[in-house]
Amino acid sequence: MGPMCGRYAVTTDPAKLAAEIDAVNEVEATDDATDLDAPRAPGPNYNVAPTTTVMTVVKRHDHDGEGPDREATLRVRAMRWGLVPPWAKEVGKGPLLFNARAESAGEKNSFRGSVKSRRCLVPMDGWYEWKKGPPDAKGKPTKIPFFMSPADGTRLFMAGLWSVWHPKDDADAAPLLSCSILTTDAVGDLREVHDRMPLVMPFDSWDTWLDPDHRAPDQLFAPPAPEVAAAIEIREVSPLVNRVINNGPELLNPA
């Protein structure tokens, strides 16, 4: 099986999302085309690929709050999709860590610190996965894309890990925030498309999952309940999604 969850779609903007989940929007809109490093405020994106700037949800304390009992609040933040460990020498070297296996992330050097205290949610309308199709006219193998999304049209929030990376030679440079989506064994009918799936985090587990002060309990790293998987619709979509350059609502049309 190929790499898991390497493309997804999200059609809301940070301000709308923040209002919807009662969070602080920390994504700054940037219209400065000359500043290539400034994270773009992610708007609707029907073909999100690794290294793109994506929206995440975290829970953090205010730095200027009083004492350890100050409350942590939900925040919407822009991050690079593809986790850069704090100890990395530079960005873009080494493997592109856009997924982490939920079963073993806590044992991996790249993810261990994030599992302890930097867990996030990655909102999405749904994700894409490919199945092997029949050979084409030239005998080359084909890939058939499928889109998995909630049957009721709501949004999914996937469990993720995030990291803060500081450029080594520039003390004044802004730190880079980056994230990885956790994957787990596929459940129910989703197994027919791929043996892995992103780890869906139900709303009633958000507080525990995002808690910045405690490690999340092991059961939150387990595959989702069958009823969570059963509420996800699987539909074949246009092969337009196979190319990252294609981006628009037509990508979600049934094939």
pLDDT (tens digit per residue) in 64-123: 655 555 789 999 999 999 999 999 988 988 889 999 999 999 999 999 999 999 999 999
Say whether pLDDT at 32 is over 50: no
Which of residues 209 and 42 earns the better pLDDT score? 209
pLDDT of residue 43: 75
Distance CA 62, CA 109 (A): 28
Residue 57's SS3 state is strand
pLDDT of residue 35: 45
Mean pLDDT taken over the chain: 90
Distance CA 20, CA 16 (A): 6
Say whether pLDDT at 13 is over 70: yes
Say whether pLDDT at 2 is over 70: no
CA angle 242, 221, 228 (to 5 degrees): 65
**8-29+38-62+70-252 in CATH: which number?**
3.90.1680.10
pLDDT of residue 168: 83
Is residue 85 packed enough to be buried (19+ CB in 10 Å), middle (13-18) or exposed (0-12)?
middle
Tokens 């999200």 label which residue?
A: 10
Q: Which of 46, 76, 109 is nearest to 97 (CA)?
A: 109
Strand partners, 83: 97
Distance CA 105, CA 21 (A): 27
Distance CA 193, CA 189 (A): 8
Which of residues 138 and 94 earns the better pLDDT score? 138
Phi and psi at residue 176, to the nearest 5°: -95, 125
Above pLDDT 70, what percent of the chain? 91
Say whether pLDDT at 41 is over 80: no
> How much of the chain is helix, strand and coil, in % rounded to 5?
20, 35, 50
Say whether pLDDT at 139 is over 60: yes
Q: What is the mean pLDDT of residues 149-176?
A: 92
Say whether pLDDT at 33 is over 70: no
Q: How far apart are the first and last CA of the chain?
A: 22
Residue 188: which residues within 8 A CB-CB, separation 6 or more?
226, 229, 230
pLDDT of residue 30: 56
What global pTM score does this model have? 0.91
Residue 51, Cβ neighbours under 10 Å: how many? 13
pLDDT of residue 246: 94
Binned at pLDDT 50, 70 and 90, residue 36 comes out as very low
Say whether pLDDT at 39 is over 90: no
